[in-house]
Amino acid sequence: MIEFKNVSKTYPNGVKGLKNVNLTIDQGEFVAIIGLSGAGKSTLIRTINRMIDITEGQLIVDGVDVMTLHGKSMRRFRRKIGMIFQSFNLVTRSTAIKNVLTSMVPDMGFFRVLLGLFTREQKMKALEALDKVGILDKAYTRCDQLSGGQQQRVALARTLNQSPSIILADEPVAALDPVTAHQVMSDFKRINEEMNISVLINIHHVDLALKYASRVIGIRAGEIVYDGPSSQVTQAVLDSIYNGASVPQAGE
């Protein structure tokens, strides 16, 4: 469970990323976060695994106040939260399986890390993760030989391989064509349903958000302007999120 309690984020240059956000996201939800560029979507997602520090309020993830974490405890905390990026962030010169295996590195001893020695069980687990996203046959192919959609699936497999309870995805389909975007989104949906992993996605494509997510959060200038089931998102709601017309909050 993720709880935002009066959370605000002010950047050092004075820009307000988040303004007094209150949210509760239960385990196993599929949440799409929509809004204009710069509205605070990325900030919201990145505060959850503390890639960005919040400046006010309290953020509790699975019973842990994230601002109390540091060093080793923070790294251990991050193991439970997978993150997916718009630009895939793979080592493109390594094979798919090597990229997936990197997510196990934090749990390994110094010399195994240094020499890159992975056990047979780890390799099998990585292959299973690749199988779950349907690209087992590309396991030993270098990532620069894969298409954008395949690369994003490798990234997804890498995240699954760390057995997370939450997956954060920052614009995961922005660099993909529409057909591939649908495939990747349905991968997320499947993972969400089959493995009961919470999925939080920042997304620009409203149609994709409404189709795959069960809950939509609309954010404008750092404030939550809509929070409710995707079925209740109307044109008026979208106008308020994207154009600033005021619409009463739906939901809860």
- The binding site for other proteins (CB under 8 A) comprises 49, 51, 74-79, 81-83, 85, 87, 89-94, 98, 102-103, 105-106, 110, 113-114, 116, 123-124, 127-128, 131, 136-137, 139-140, 142, 144-145, 155, 158-159, 162, 168
Q: Which is nearer to other proteins, 45 or 238 (CB)?
A: 45
Least distance in angstroms from the C-beta of 150 to other proteins: 13
Min dist. Cβ of residue 155 to other proteins (A): 8
- Secondary structure of the chain in HEC code, one letter for each residue: CEEEEEEEEECCCCCEEEEEEEEEECCCCEEEEECCCCCCHHHHHHHHCCCCCCCEEEEEECCEEHHHCCHHHHHHHHHCEEEECCCCCCCCCCEHHHHHHHHHHHHCCHHHHHHCCCCHHHHHHHHHHHHHCCCHHHCCCEHHHCCHHHHHHHHHHHHHCCCCCEEEEECCCCCCCHHHHHHHHHHHHHHHHHHCCEEEEECCCHHHHHHHCCEEEEEECCEEEEEEEHHHCCHHHHHHHHHCCCCCCCCC
Nearer to other proteins, 98 or 182 (CB): 98
CB of 124 to other proteins, least distance (A): 7
> Residue 155 or residue 201: which is nearer to other proteins going by CB?
155
The residue (of 95 and 240) whose beta carbon lies closer to other proteins is 95
Please, what is the minimum distance in Å from the beta carbon of residue 74 to other proteins? 8
